Structure 1
Amino acid sequence: MQKEKPFYTYSDIENWEGNWELIDGVPYLLASPSFAHQYVVGQLHLALASYFQARGCHVILSPFDIQLDPEEPERTAKTVVQPDLSVVCRTEQIRSRRMKGAPDLIVEVLSPSTALRDRNQKYHLYEKHGVREYWIVDPSNWTVEVFSRQDGRFQQRAVFGPSDELVSFWQPDLTVSLASVFPPEESEV
């Protein structure tokens, strides 16, 4: 007889030690990130904050809970994520302890413990809930994959490398020079 997996809600995990995400009722403990991961997050935060501040949007660093389905009751929410970076232009979505609804842009920086979840489960969640653009950053290979919405679905629009200027498809005048985004080569992912 197969044992049934436990199902959790936000009220179960909100006071647990550490940083947790909840995807379809399954909790995931987020491991401490590497130097390379945090370096990339920091550099992208600088670039995005300088661009979006003038547009009345907020760039949010993890850990900050995002409840993708705003209609779901807060206490019983079964999916709450903590993307590495989120850009939110509808500031009424932001509450003191979490955000309700999909951000406009999400950036996930891959690490060995999260890469499959970022590429599969989270990709589909972000697409389903209306994220306009999703960047998957791979610090091991020094690439950024940009997916943007087209006809209600994500389309891979481009893959950028360390010598490229990343261009957003959602905000075409947003460009990020990737030369300074990735850490020195000797840093571990």
Structure 2
Amino acid sequence: MVAIQEVVKLSPEEYLTQEETNSVKCEYINGEVYEMADASSDHVTIAGNMFFVLKNHLRGGDCRVYIADMKVRIDSLNIFYYPDVIVTCSQEDRALNYYKRSPQIIVEVLSDSTESFDRGDKFADYRQIESLKEYVLISQTKKRVDLFTKQDNNSWQLTSFDEGENLVLNSINFTCAVSSLYEDI
């Protein structure tokens, strides 16, 4: 006979308290906690490059950019994720220290182990965020960026950008060379 281990579910408050002292980042999906895998050097470099170009563009404005350690809370689904980079222009988000509720842009750097989740279930979850206008997926294996843009009818349009092209994020009037995201790779 095999013993079945009971899964202990945490409340959002218990999860947030645990995350303050955790040495490992964990995402939270409807009461269950999932440890995040370590990121590769290329992953961290690409995310850092994206943060850098966005930070320079947004400097002095109303929007804020956050990297890696800032959670996004999806209240309707009882979820907390750690995107690689987020941009929020919400005044309410400024008062929240450990997570943001109203990102306008979410960026994920793809890895072999997370790509299908980032493109599938995680993107479906992110689409529940009313404020989200653009979802950016950056490949580690080829110099390509996929941009999903929310349309007026709430559908999402995919545009891909390759090396030699410019990534355009219309919601914040931003343009950068795709090659700049791969600097030092």
Q: Does 1:21 align with 2:22?
A: no
Which residue does the alignment assign to 1:9? 11
Report the alpha carbon displacement of residue 7 of structure 1 after superposing the two structures with TM: 4.0
1 CA distance for matches of 2:7 and 2:183?
40
Q: Does 1:60 align with 2:60?
A: no
Q: Residues 1-189 of structure 1: matches in 2 within 5 Å?
A: 7-14=9-16, 15=18, 16-69=22-75, 78-94=78-94, 95-99=96-100, 101-130=101-130, 131-150=132-151, 151-156=153-158, 158-171=159-172, 173-183=173-183
2 CA distance for matches of 1:119 and 1:59?
22
**CA offsets, 1:141-184, max 9 Å, x none?**
2211011111123221x10112111111323x310111121155
Tell me, which stretches of 5 or more residues in structure 1 are unaligned?
none
Q: Report the TM-score when normalising by structure 1.
A: 0.82
CA contact (8 A) 2:90 2:102 kept: no
**Structure 2 vs 1, CA of residues 93 and 134 (structure 1 numbering), >3 Å: closer, same or farther?**
same
Tell me, which stretches of 5 or more residues in structure 2 are unaligned?
none
CA contact (8 A) 2:110 2:138 kept: yes
Report the alpha carbon displacement of residue 10 of structure 1 after superposing the two structures with TM: 2.6
CA contact (8 A) 2:143 2:179 kept: no
* Partner amino acid, structure 2, of 1:27: V
Q: Percent identity?
A: 24
2 CA distance for matches of 1:179 and 1:161?
8
2 CA distance for matches of 1:142 and 1:8?
39
Q: Secondary structure at the match of 1:55?
A: coil
Q: Tell me the C-alpha RMSD between the 2 structures.
A: 2.3
Report the alpha carbon displacement of residue 47 of structure 1 after superposing the two structures with TM: 0.7
Q: Report the TM-score when normalising by structure 2.
A: 0.84
Q: Secondary structure at the match of 2:176?
A: strand
* Partner amino acid, structure 2, of 1:62: A
* Partner amino acid, structure 2, of 1:116: S
* Partner amino acid, structure 1, of 2:15: I
* Partner amino acid, structure 2, of 1:170: S
CA contact (8 A) 1:148 1:170 kept: no
1 CA distance for matches of 2:113 and 2:183?
19
Paired residues in the alignment total 175
CA contact (8 A) 2:49 2:183 kept: no
